[in-house]
Structures are given as structure tokens and as C-alpha cells.
Structure 1
Amino acid sequence: CVPCKSTQVERRAIRESVASAGARDVRLIEEPMAAAIGAGLPVDQASGSMVVDIGGGTTEIAIISLNGVVYSESVRVGGDRFDEAITTHVRRNYGSLIGDATAERIKKEIGCAYASSSNEVREIDVRGRNLAEGVPRSFTLNSDEILESLQEPLSAIVQAVKSALEQSPPELASDIAESGLVLTGGGALLKDLDKLLSEETGLPVIVAEDPLSCVARGGGKAMELMDDHDIDLLTLEE
């Protein structure tokens, strides 16, 4: 699986690396297509489907119809940027340094993408190394401040989704308005990200079942389809 905006040079390098590892037949599929297949979207139908795959380093957005990617967009914002935003917030406001694992734990336990009056303020106790004293210190974070710290990467994802919707072909726009967006990837697990995107776009948004494994499942299903018709539309040629 390759990013939808990867260059021919990058794709050729991937092919050569896989071939050198012993593979006899190498086929590439774009990540959002694999994610859509893994999420069970009707990629072979004429109606348009839209998938937003939020990985660790990038968010891949694609509109898919008839086994092809009609439009795709990739932004270098993903789950890792969420973690970095939390780490930066802690350093600036608490004068402490936390590791990647701690930042991810904070994101999972009290991270949220959407402010709502019905949301209970949650707290978490963490330990970090005080930068001034060089010793471990404990402090308490709450979900409101983490939400605030995530605004920049969240805004980048929202804007990318809006841009993709604006670029969608008119004949597929009505399909997407009815079926909505499907979120995949580990970043889709951020609490209320679906609510944020639904609020910002006015469209229904659902999180795929087991979003973390959608790309892997879709890649496997695409392999199974290699002997079926239309497989050439699913895979990328050099």
C-alpha cells in the first residue's frame, strides 16, 4: 500500500525493495483504496464513496467510484501530530518533558476532538521530567486543555476534507451527501472526531469497524481479487 500522493520514483523504490525481499509479483494499491475495501465500502459501484484514512504520519482522503480513485488528497497530519501537539502543550505549560508513549496514553484516555456541553471533563495524572530542575514531576491534565492543544492538527484535517468535498465531481457529490464519510486508520479512534467532521461538513460521518486494521484488511482482500475481473483497476502500474 502506498500513499495516494507518492511519486513514481517512490513507488518504484517500494517495488524494488519488496522484490529484493523475495516477492515474485509486486502490486501496489493506494492506501485510501485499501482502506475503503477494508471498511467494506462498495468501491466497485458507480456511486461515489469517500474515505478519510488517518494514519500516523499522513491523512489520506479519497473519493472512489468504479474501482478507481476519482480524487485524492494527502496531508502530512496524522496521529503522530496529535501526540506532538500534546507534548508541546505539556512542555510550554508545565515546563516538563514527556515521552511518546505518555503522549499517546493522554490522547487515548482524555483526548477529544469536539467540544460539547454534555462532555464530562476528564483528568489524568502523568509524570514528566521537569526541564528546569531535571527531575521527575507529577501533574494533572484535563480533557479541555488537551482539546485546545489539538486544534491545529484537527483544523488541518477538517480543511483537507472540505477541500476534497469541494473538488468532488458533481455527479458523485449527491452520493457522498447521502452516504457520508467513512473514517479509517488509528487516528479515527480519537474521541468524537466523527462528530467534529459531521459538524463541519454537515454530512453523516461513521467510524469503520476496527479502523486501525482497515488498510491491512483491504490490501489482503485486494490480493484475493487478483484473479477476479477489474483487478487492474485496483492496482497501480508503474
Structure 2
Amino acid sequence: MEKMMEWGMNMFSIRADMGIDLGTASVLVYIKGKGIVLKEPSVVAIEKNSNKILAVGEEARRMLGRTPGNIVAIRPLRDGVISDFEVTERMLKYFIQKAAGSTLFKPRIIVCVPSGVTEVEKKAVLDASNQAGAKSTRLIEEPIAAAIGAGLDISKPSGNMIVDIGGGTTDIAVISLGGIVVSNSIKIAGDKFDEAVVRYIRKRHNIMIGERSAEDLKINIGTAYPRKKEVYMDVRGRNLVTGLPKNMKISSTEMLEALEEPVTAIADAVHSVLERTPPELSSDISDRGIIMTGGGALLYGLDKLISERTGVPVKVAEDAVSCVAKGTGIALDSLDELDNGMASADRRRAY
């Protein structure tokens, strides 16, 4: 009987604790004892007339730019924050239930948010999570989660610098003693990379390409620093003069030109945070280097560009895309130690 009770308690703990990386581009869910169990795009397809959700995640992403007039595929988060509360709540509910595999227990949840969010934006995330079925919700700032997920020991009195490049925001932070000392969050990240590619090809070639095509170009031949060997990729778009479909070949050199503005803005923002960092912590960072996380960290040569701009070694974390989700999940075991980087629904200060 005791073993059955122990098994039941273990099942409860596995299902009750959940860390969520609620990103502009994708949602990752970490379940205690299991690791990352879900990774899907932050996209929802809705039937306009009935407001019925037709698809969520990857299935909905495939509908982007391909839906008939009565169906709309939307991304309910923009620039790292909720832009459509109701759709975000429904999306979260779907992902929570899918990840948990059961609605028997209400999970305790930690959700990560960009470091620059306002109290109103924090409350929106808390409310959306709680209304989506959480027993309780805490928030953790993305740089803290990213640092934990990257395997850094942030509890010591030494400086660690994280640059987390997601879909909507780039979060830059210097962390010491479990808290953020200096930080900046800018709304330039993966989405802005895609937009820059669309603009460049429209201006340079008079061709309009879709969001998914721009993302494919970014992932496959995107470049932030000159490559030793030129690479190419075919892309299809619509000729803005004739209105007809057209195939063309894009080079990595063109991608370098297309992405110059957003990647330079990120490098400048990192440099600015370093300038505001206390000398003792700057010395630590010079020795240890800057750690990059998030999907945007995988852009070819971005680490070299930032290193060249700052004069500090830069390293892309192992499994950079999953660092925030992993850190959010690991933080489930360390809530008391991480109070400096968190806010909870029941202990939130009123502003």
C-alpha cells in the first residue's frame, strides 16, 4: 500500500510541475522528471465566424499564408509579450493538456518572460496561465532561465553574461548571485531577421516572398559575418511586376546584406550592456566569455560579430534553442533560491 501511495505521489510530482518557454515563435514545455516534452510553433488557426480553433502549433503554422478567407492563422504573441490574450490562453490550455497527457491534476507552472516586460504584461501572462488551467503560476526572467539551462552557476558572486535571442526579443543580461545586475531587452530578434530578408528581396529583386520562405533562407544560408565559402538557396516568390510566380537563387552574401541592420543592432546592444557593467563583473565576463542562447544564436557568424564588436570571447550554448525551457524546468527545484528573478501571482507587489 505504501509503495502504491509513493508511486501515486511520484506521478503527481511529475505531472504537477511544468516549466513553459512561452515564446513569440515557439512554445517549449518542460515537465519535471521527463525533460522537454513539447516544442511547437506559437501559432493558432481560427475560423473567423465561429471563433473556433481549428489547429494549434505545427499544424497551424503550415496554414500561415495559405488559409481561405474564413480562416485566419495568427501568432498571439508579438515582441515577446501577449498581443491577443484570449487566443494565448486557449493556446496555452491546449499545450498544457497535450504535454501533461491528462487533465486529472492542475499543474504548478513557471513561465519565462523577457527581462523588460512591464507589470501589466507580467499580469497578462500570469492570468493567461492560471485561466488555462494552472494550479499556480510563477514567472522567471528569460536571461535567468537561459543561464540555468546553459549550465551556468549563477548563485556565486561572479559575473555571467547571457545573450538570449528568441523570436520576438533579444534579452541581454549580466547575472551574479542569482540576480540580474545589468540588462537590456530589445525587440530585435528572429522575427526581425525574417522581416529584413523579405524587405531586402522585395527591394533588390522586386520579388515578394512569404514569412516561411524568409525563415528557411535565414536558417539555411543566413549570415551575420562573411563566410569563407559562398552558399546558395533557391526560393520562390511572386514577381511584383508581372504578378506571376518566380524562382530565383539567393546567395549568402545577399543574406549578409539583408541581415546587416538587425544583427548590428544586437551587437551594439550587447556592447552597451557591457559598458554599464561594474568593473569586477566585466573582468569575470572577459575571462569566461559571453554565452549565447535561443534560436537566433544559431545564425551563422553572429557569435563572431558580437565578439569582434565587444572584444570578448563568445560561445553558443549547447542545445541553444532549448536552454530557456530547460532552465525554466530546472528552476522548479530552486524556487526559493531564485526569488530575485521571479514574481508569483500570490506575492506580486501592487504598483
Instruction: Say whether the fold is shared (TM-score over 0.5).
Output: yes
Q: Report % sequence identity.
A: 51
Equivalence for 1:6: 117
Equivalence for 2:83: none
Equivalence for 2:255: 146
Query: Could you give the per-residue CA deviations for residues 84-126 of structure 1, whole angstroms, max 9, x where no partner exists?
Result: 111111111111111111111111221111125xx11111121
Task: Quote the offset at 1:233 in angstroms.
Answer: 3.0
* 1:175 corresponds to which of 263, 284, 291: 284
Equivalence for 1:42: 153
Query: Could you give the per-residue CA deviations for residues 151-171 of structure 1, whole angstroms, max 9, x where no partner exists?
Result: 100111011000000010122
Equivalence for 1:195: 304
- The answer to whether structure 1 residue 156 and structure 2 residue 265 are counterparts is yes
Q: Check the 8 A contact 2:126/2:137 in 1, yes or no.
A: yes
Partner secondary structure for residue 27 of structure 1: strand
Task: Quote the offset at 1:43 in angstroms.
Answer: 0.8
Partner secondary structure for residue 26 of structure 1: strand
Unaligned runs of 5+ in 1: none
Alignment of structure 1 residues 88-167 onto 2, 5 Å: 88-115=199-226, 119-167=228-276
Partner secondary structure for residue 327 of structure 2: helix
TM-score by length of 2: 0.65
Q: Distance in 2 between matches of 1:160 and 1:27?
A: 28
Q: Check the 8 A contact 1:222/1:234 in 2, yes or no.
A: no
User: What is the aligned-residue RMSD (CA, Å)?
Assistant: 1.2
Query: Aligned AA for 1:225?
Result: S
Query: Aligned AA for 1:107?
Result: K
Q: Kindly indicate which of the two structures has a greater share of residues assigned to strand.
A: 2
Equivalence for 1:231: 338
Task: Quote the offset at 1:13 in angstroms.
Answer: 1.9
Query: Aligned AA for 2:211?
Result: D
List, as ranges, runs of 4+ consecutive aligned residues in structure 1 with deviation greater than 3 Å: none
Q: Distance in 2 between matches of 1:40 and 1:3?
A: 19
- The answer to whether structure 1 residue 69 and structure 2 residue 180 are counterparts is yes
Task: Quote the offset at 1:222 in angstroms.
Answer: 0.4
Equivalence for 2:170: 59
How many residues align structurally? 234
State which drifts further: 8-17 or 208-217.
8-17
Higher relative contact order (CA 8 A, sep 6+): 1
Task: Quote the offset at 1:232 in angstroms.
Answer: 2.2
Q: Check the 8 A contact 1:30/1:236 in 2, yes or no.
A: no
Q: Distance in 2 between matches of 1:78 and 1:176?
A: 23
Partner secondary structure for residue 182 of structure 2: strand
Q: Distance in 1 between matches of 2:179 and 2:229?
A: 42
- The answer to whether structure 1 residue 30 and structure 2 residue 153 are counterparts is no
Unaligned runs of 5+ in 2: 1-111
Larger CA Rg, structure 1 vs 2: 2
TM-score by length of 1: 0.95
Query: Could you give the per-residue CA deviations for residues 27-51 of structure 1, whole angstroms, max 9, x where no partner exists?
Result: 1100111111111111111111000
